[in-house]
Amino acid sequence: MRFLMVVMAAALTACSAETDPATHDDMHDGAGVVREVAESVNDYVDNFSLLDHKGRAHELYYYDDAPAIAIMIQGNGCPIVRNAWSDYSAVRDQFADKGVEFYMLNANRQDKRSTIAEEADNFSYDMPILNDETQLIAEALGVTRTAEVLVISPSDWSIIYRGPVNDRLGYGQQRAEAKEHYLADALAAAIAGKPVETRIRRSKGCIVNLPETAKVAEHATISYSETIAPMLAENCASCHEEGGIAPWAMNDYSMIEGFAPMIREVVRTKRMPPWSADPHVGKFTNARGLTIEEKQTLVHWIEAGAPRGDGPDPLATRVSDASDWPLGQPDLIIEAPAFDVPASGIVDYQFPTVLNPMDKDIWVKAVTVVPGDKTVVHHALVGSSEKVTKPGEGDYQDVFDNYLIGFVPGAESYIYPESTGVFVKAGGEFRFQMHYTTSGRATTDKTKLGLYFHDTPPKFPLRQQVALNVALGIPPNAADHKEQAYFEFDNPATIYMLFPHSHYRGKSSVFDVLYPDGREETILSVPDYDFNWQHTYSLAEPLDVPKGAKLIHRTLYDNSARNLANPNPDRTVPWGLQSHDEMLYGSFMFRWTAETADNPVHDPLQFGIRQFYGFADKDMDGKLVRTEMGGRLGRAWDNGSMKQADRDGDDALSFAEYYGFRKAQMQRRRSSR
Ligand code: HEC
């Protein structure tokens, strides 16, 4: 790995206009301070992942088969960017069918996602604008001015061109027509596999204020002992400890120093700490993640050589706070059957079940999962059911019959919201969904579930429901395939927890609430979904929604070959329990606002029918028309056997009509039995 050293002028005076290609020597700005950018010509770009102004995630190395990637540095209020946009977008259109990727990148301290989105709207920037909130990416790319374009070659991730789009723009003046088309020439060269003639050109633009580039010397004084080690202990060590799920333990400075480049990578690509929610959307009690400032400090310290400095080493003396039962001795302990985890390879999800030993009903107020072997249990979801699964019959969604807890390392206990509880009927079974990752060592896992009971029934029963879509059909090679389903609340409700689930092709997921007045609000966004980390998102503020509100779960699927986890891009992917098929499965926990334990307002039949209606009604207008009716329903509609269901004769089924029809159908079936 190489780091760029960009020493930049603090004085924000604009450069005098020059049209000549820049050389190392002439990189002086108006204040006479030397800026070295020539170094960067041959530099390589390390991977990064950034969210754009719409909250979508983009990882650089995803595009490793593109002939080139262009990134224009953008900044709000900079006339030169605004003026250069038409030329930049024209080059994009010119190369539309050549597979070149085009981006903008905003690293301005003064710009926020919302203001960048406004600027994009006002100036019709119809391109992802990567929002480099930490400035770490811009620093490493050697960014100095907006309107500069970087062209990266994925063949070796080098920067093959750095400069303006063309020679049209100067400060204050501009030509009517460009004479030289630097960017187009560079891209043409990249596509032809030829070197770019002049790889670095002085660019006109507004200076990007990157104050940390002037403080490189100070970064070497960041204290490992007082700043870095405590940060890692707090955010990482619960997994990165001896016997923890992470493959290496943060147990002293030498480990950190050795893994420093890798830590820099996982922070820049947002892989660690594992947590997938967009920090701009919602607040969650179980959120992880470093703040912008922490990321800057950690990466700057690493880029300064990860110096040990003085002081004690808190990681060397850290005591693991893992204890079997952090909430105390449970009222009931359920032990999953032993499972042999091999030393290597991928282990399919396991669905063990255990008969419920209780002969009376219980109200659960809190749960803890204790993995038998913490080095292999990547996640465990647990629920209960009144039914008993036959051997080999279990699947992913079984745990959601009556969901109890989603465990990922570092989040082993779940105390249900105040005055709520989950009802578990006597008998039936407890169901686990176990995801094991191999650790290089064969082992046997025996995971335990601890349940804590309410002595008397809690005021409010917690419920769980799913917005799902079993009618998936993801076309071959589609990189951005959209699916959705909604659940409409037929009574006022309070939402507590969200859980998006898809498989290897899941790319991003959101939960939106559509209110009866037409207002729509995103309450969770997972821009970079990772099948390996099945996070539960607990809302810091429970959300009250009125009757008629729709909770919409939307997921994008990446069925292209660029998705490394994709088992087969050439297939139309249906709904299926196996991970090589797909799911749209948005589970959530809530309570009916008016429901109490002794006054249930719950209609299980309606609950199930709403689930179906919520994905069949694709345009969400509350009317099922023929084009939204698949399979059996469509056939029944065509042969007239549903005619009487359409009571108002508008050639569509409202929910009430469909529900009435299904209810009557079920009653007929029951009475004929
Ligand atoms: C919830 C548990 C957990 C937390 C918290 C966590 N990690 Fe990890 N880490 C893992 C696991 C598990 C892996 C192995 C790869 C995987 O499964 O994603 C890993 C891998 C890594 C790697 C890559 C090494 C490799 O496997 O190639 C680095 C570096 C890393 N973590 C750094 C960090 C840092 C820095 C933090 C805190 C800011 C952190 N991790 C927090 C669980 C965790």
| pLDDT tens for each residue of 251-292 | 999 999 999 999 999 999 999 999 999 999 999 998 999 999
How far apart, in whole angstroms, are the C-alpha atoms of residue 612 and residue 626? Answer: 15
Q: Is the pLDDT of residue 474 over 80?
A: yes
The pLDDT tens digits for 202-255 are: 888 999 999 999 999 999 999 999 999 999 999 999 999 998 889 999 999 999
Residue 411 has what pLDDT? 72
67 ligand 1 Cβ < 6 A: no
DSSP class of 224: I
| Ligand 1 centroid from CA 273, angstroms | 6
What is the β-pairing status of strands 429-436 and 377-385? antiparallel
In the chain, where are the structural domains located?
38-214, 220-303, 332-458, 463-620
pLDDT in tens, 362-421: 999 999 999 999 889 888 889 999 988 887 776 666 777 788 988 877 678 888 988 999
Residue 20 has pLDDT above 60, yes or no: no
Average pLDDT, integer, range 521-549? 94
pTM of the predicted protein model: 0.87
- What pLDDT does 673 receive? 65
Pair type for strands 537-545 and 493-501: antiparallel
Lowest mean pLDDT among 142-156, 408-422, 476-490, 493-507: 408-422
Cis upstream peptide for 273 (omega within 30°):
yes
Q: Specify the range with the lowest mean pLDDT, choosing from 72-86, 297-311, 394-408.
A: 394-408
Ligand 1 centre distance from Cα of residue 635 (Å): 51
274 lines ligand 1 (CB under 6 A): yes
**What pLDDT was estimated at residue 396?**
65
Q: Which of the residue ranges 145-154, 425-434, 535-544, 593-602 would you say has the lowest mean pLDDT? A: 593-602
Instruction: Please check the confidence at residue 647 and state whether its pLDDT lies above 50.
Output: yes
463-620 fold: Jelly Rolls (2.60.120)
> Is 103 strand, coil or helix?
strand
pLDDT at 29 over 50: no
Mean pLDDT of 508-535: 94
For the CA of 238, the nearest atom of ligand 1: 5
DSSP of 658-672:
HHHHHHHHHHHHHHH
Distance 310 CA to ligand 1 centre (A): 26
Is the separation of the CB atoms in 132 and 101 below 8 Å?
A: no
We find that the CATH architecture of domain 332-458 is Sandwich (2.60)
The CA distance from 476 to 467, in Å, is 24
Residue given tokens 């947590």 in the structure block:
275
**C-alpha 446, offset from chain centre:** 30
* pLDDT, tens digit (0-9, with 9 covering 90-100), for 143-155: 999 999 999 999 9
Query: Which residue's C-alpha comes closest to atom 15 of ligand 1?
Result: 246
Beta bridge partners of 591: 494
SS3 content of the chain, % helix, strand, coil (to 5): 25, 25, 50
Residue with tokens 């779940």: 414
Q: Is 463-620 the same fold as 332-458? A: yes
What is the 667 CA–ligand 1 centroid distance (Å)? 54
Q: How far is the CA of 246 from the centre of ligand 1 (A)?
A: 6
Mean pLDDT of 73-87: 95
Question: For 582-637, what is the HEC assignment?
Answer: ECCEEEEEEEECCCECCECCCCHHHHHHHHHHHHHCCCCCCCECHHHCCHHHHHHH
Tokens of 393: 């019959």
Q: What is the Å distance from ligand 1's center to 533 Cα?
A: 11
The CATH homologous superfamily for domain 38-214 is Glutaredoxin (3.40.30.10)
Shortest-distance Cα residue to atom 5 of ligand 1: 236
Counting ligand 1 atoms within 8 A of each CB, the residue from 1, 268, 269, 272 with the most, and so the one to mutate, is: 272
Average pLDDT over residues 583-595: 91
CA distance 120 to 53: 8
